[in-house]
Copies of this chain bind each other. A is one copy, B any other.
Amino acid sequence: QGTRDQPPALVALRDRLLAAVVACFKRHGAAAIDTPVLELRETLMGKYGEDTKLIYELQDQGGELLALRYDLTVPFARYLAMNKITNMKRYHVAKVYRRDSPATTRGRYREFYQCDFDIAGQFDPMIPDAECLKIVHEILTDLQVGDFLIKVNDRRILNGVFAVCGIPESKFITTCSTMDKLDKMPWEEVRSEMVGEKGLSPDAADRIGEYVRLHGGLDLIERLLQDPKLSQSKLAKEGLGDMKLLFEYLTLFGITGKISFDLSLARGLDYYTGVIFEAVLLQQENDHVQEPVSIGSVAGGGRYDGLVGMFDPKGRKVPCVGVSIGIERIFSILEQRVKASGEKVRTTETQVLVATPQKHLLAARLKLISELWDAGIKAEMLYKKDPKLLKQLQYCEDMGIPLAAIVGEQELTDGVIKLRDVATREEVRM
């Protein structure tokens, strides 16, 4: 349930997509690592907030207690700590596993690819953070998925808001995880969960409500830096100062047009400590799609300065910031686009079919195709002793093979082959 086999046409499309993402990561100088699909259960515990229940656990068959990785961020942090690496720019494209309710038409699966880019190390503020946003912008532009918006916020600003609204610090994380639902439910429902389930006072919730409605750019940042209430919070001031710096860098990158500083953005995971962001696709109004598919967030990430330290015996911290591209959702959009266009994706790359027009020529075909393979040419033949020429040419047309190399009795005698262009039917002897 919630997984699927991918037939050749889908794999071909997916490989094209992943290649574009990897090309971007390489353009930004990242190196690739790989980690096992299996992690120790204890490695994953306490990292994902309420979503910990979605982790797939392996049966205890003796030996270590294992689980399937839930994302690529925690394995990366573990990798850095285990290898005492304090400085690294890496990408990782691999499958992760979540026992979530699948919604396969929207591209939500229990097994899905993540494409992660992360920068670890102690650097001057917001330079790597800005690069992560640039990467999201480049990839979504490259893939031509339509108009998009990247929402940005900062955990420190959120915590500052919570503090000045009178929320006790012990409730910051749980309040945050409720706020994270704002993209799926209206403020009224989120508010009632805050008051009902999470036990905030109605007044405090209302005060939060004032802030989460705000979104904008540099102007909003400036205004909040002057906000008499918010400027009482040291954390909020720090976050706002960095947010201003971030927007300056994004201006130099020329991408602020698609970026919104949005106080409603919370992100569910426990481990974020600074900037957080999420890219969403915007439904085009002039899109006359029969069933518009809401696909939600297509990329997300943020800064997690404390995670690596959780895996280091001495608690040594390595600041990190990173982004994860939600390739499956983008994939489901492109899949539907290909379907709608009726475009036929070739699933093989065969250049030439080795064919014979008469019987008893299997040996000639085997000899010729072997020479072609050894010369690095992509070649096929039908696995029949004496196939009809028509069948062989039909196979070329079905599979999109452009050329047929034909050896008949005459060609064998003359020591040549007849090369046929399948589309034009032109033939040359060579």
| Cα distance, A356 to B143, chains bound together (Å) | 33
- A50 / chain B contacts, CB cutoff of 8 Å: none
| Cα distance, A230 to B411, chains bound together (Å) | 43
Q: Which chain B residue has the least Cβ–Cβ distance from A62?
A: B99
In-complex Cβ contact of A373 among B6, B79, B138, B378 (8 A)? B138
In-complex Cβ contact of A127 among B12, B63, B123, B383 (8 A)? B383
- Grouping DSSP codes into helix (H, G, I), strand (E, B) and loop, the A interface class, with mixed when no group exceeds half, is mixed
B27 touches A376 (CB 8 A): yes
| Cα distance, A398 to B109, chains bound together (Å) | 41
Indicate if A4 sits at the interface (CB-CB under 8 A).
yes
| Cα distance, A124 to B360, chains bound together (Å) | 13
Give the interface centre of A7, A97, A376 by most chain B CB atoms within 10 Å.
A7
- Which one of A183-191, A246-254, A277-285 is at the interface? A246-254
Q: Which chain B residue has the least Cβ–Cβ distance from A249?
A: B366
Number of interface residues, chain A, beta carbon within 8 A: 77
- A335 / chain B contacts, CB cutoff of 8 Å: none
- A374 / chain B contacts, CB cutoff of 8 Å: 138
Q: Which chain B residue has the least Cβ–Cβ distance from A99?
A: B61
Q: Which chain B residue has the least Cβ–Cβ distance from A350?
A: B29
| Cα distance, A288 to B99, chains bound together (Å) | 52
| Residue interface bits A134-145, CB-to-B below 8 A is 1, else 0 | 100010000000
Given A28-B380, A370-B254, do A57 and B56 touch, yes or no (CB 8 Å)? no
28 pairs of residues in contact across A and B, judged by CB atoms under 8 Å: A1-B63, A1-B64, A5-B33, A5-B79, A5-B83, A6-B34, A11-B31, A11-B34, A12-B31, A14-B34, A26-B378, A27-B376, A27-B379, A28-B380, A29-B349, A29-B350, A38-B97, A56-B58, A56-B61, A57-B59, A61-B99, A121-B383, A123-B383, A123-B384, A124-B384, A128-B383, A252-B366, A254-B370
By a beta-carbon cutoff of 8 Å, the part of chain A in contact with chain B is 1, 3-8, 10-12, 14-15, 26-38, 56-61, 63-64, 68, 79, 82-83, 89-90, 95, 97, 99, 110-111, 119, 121, 123-124, 127-128, 130, 134, 138, 249, 252-254, 347-350, 362-363, 366-367, 370, 373-374, 376-380, 383-385, 399
